[in-house]
Amino acid sequence: MTYPRKHLLAIEGLEPPHIADLLDLAESYALLNRSGKTQRDLLKGRTLINLFFEDSTRTRTSFELAGKRLGADVINMSVSTSSVNKGETLLDTASTLNAMHCDLLVVRHGQSGAPSLLSQKVDAAVINAGDGTHEHPTQALLDALTIRRHKGRLEGLIVAICGDIAHSRVARSNMHLLTTMGSRVRVVGPPTLIPAEAARLGVEVFHDMKAGLAGADVVMMLRLQRERMSGGMVPSAREFFRFYGLDAEKLAYAKPDSIVMHPGPMNRGVEIDSAVADHPTRSVIGEQVEMGVACRMAVLDVLARGLRRNV
């Protein structure tokens, strides 16, 4: 295993062998999970804290399950029950976590860069579980693993990431990972929702769904993140669906064996039609959730190996 860092804060900066090794390890955890076996010795005596300043269902539960399957003591701290609501700063929280001898800290925060700041102040290995519009590295890993399981590779595949790219940390981490691994990445959406940096990241920009989906191997849909918009960036939900919502008619432009992905939570009828989201062969949305647990087990495993304190 070649993973070079103490923390996992971003995909940006990782090299192909680091990513490939993490995916291989995650694949072995996917098989272990399907067999119903666990490996409860690996993180025995380790404490994993899930520190979530933003709501989450699947990411938080998936880290919790991953930690428990590897034998860690898992504690969930959500902002509504923590003293942050009483005015405590991020750095006060860091000293509290240090005093608790937390080994692995999973952080989700509304501000880009918050997990990185925390990582400089805590002894624990920090995993970014989504920070503002910046990155969501474990989501990109689970997406890549799901793609690799269906297509056998990442290199040379045409991946269309569609919808609200500008506000999406999922899109940003995926752009970094997939371009690093040699996929041909397209971003598809209205000009207001495509970030200026897209060209720098080596992706192709499309404003028309049919052109963007033509010949694609993978179609990845994203939620409209209205909570991060300053208003007026999109027309009505109905109008958005007409131009950018994925339905059977638009999907017909992609390859006949293309797969449909969505990180969740989905807004059915806004960015994706139910018939496509629930399609028995084309949709791999359920498998993404399954691979999420496997990828998080791989990341916890690798970071725990790098921890100095022995238990």
Interface residues with ligand NCD (CB under 6 A) are 58-59, 130, 136, 139, 169-170, 223, 225, 263-264
Q: Which is nearer to ligand NCD, 59 or 180 (CB)?
A: 59
Distance in Å, CB of 177 to ligand NCD, minimum = 15
Burial-class residue 233 by CB neighbours within 10 Å (0-12, 13-18, 19+): middle
- List the strands of the sheet with 47-52, edge to edge: 73-78, 47-52, 104-109, 125-131
Distance in Å, CB of 267 to ligand NCD, minimum = 9
Cα dihedral sign for 148, 143, 70, 112?
positive
- List the strands of the sheet with 218-221, edge to edge: 204-206, 184-188, 158-162, 218-221, 259-261
Distance in Å, CB of 295 to ligand NCD, minimum = 12
Distance in Å, CB of 198 to ligand NCD, minimum = 18
Q: Which is nearer to ligand NCD, 46 or 51 (CB)?
A: 51
Nearest residue to ligand NCD, using CB? 223
DSSP-derived 3-state class of residue 184: strand
- Yes or no: say if 130 and 52 are a contact pair by the CB < 8 Å rule: no
DSSP H or E segment with residue 131 = strand 125-131
Q: Which is nearer to ligand NCD, 212 or 263 (CB)?
A: 263
Distance in Å, CB of 167 to ligand NCD, minimum = 9
Q: Which is nearer to ligand NCD, 47 or 295 (CB)?
A: 295
Q: Which is nearer to ligand NCD, 16 or 265 (CB)?
A: 265
Distance in Å, CB of 263 to ligand NCD, minimum = 4
Q: Which is nearer to ligand NCD, 23 or 224 (CB)?
A: 224
Nearest Cα neighbor of 109 from 78, 75, 88 is 78
Instruction: Report the half-sphere exposure of 268 (CA within 13 A, side-chain side).
Output: 6
Q: What contacts 98, CB < 8 A, 6 or more positions away?
A: 121, 122, 123, 124
Distance in Å, CB of 120 to ligand NCD, minimum = 23
Q: Which is nearer to ligand NCD, 46 or 284 (CB)?
A: 284
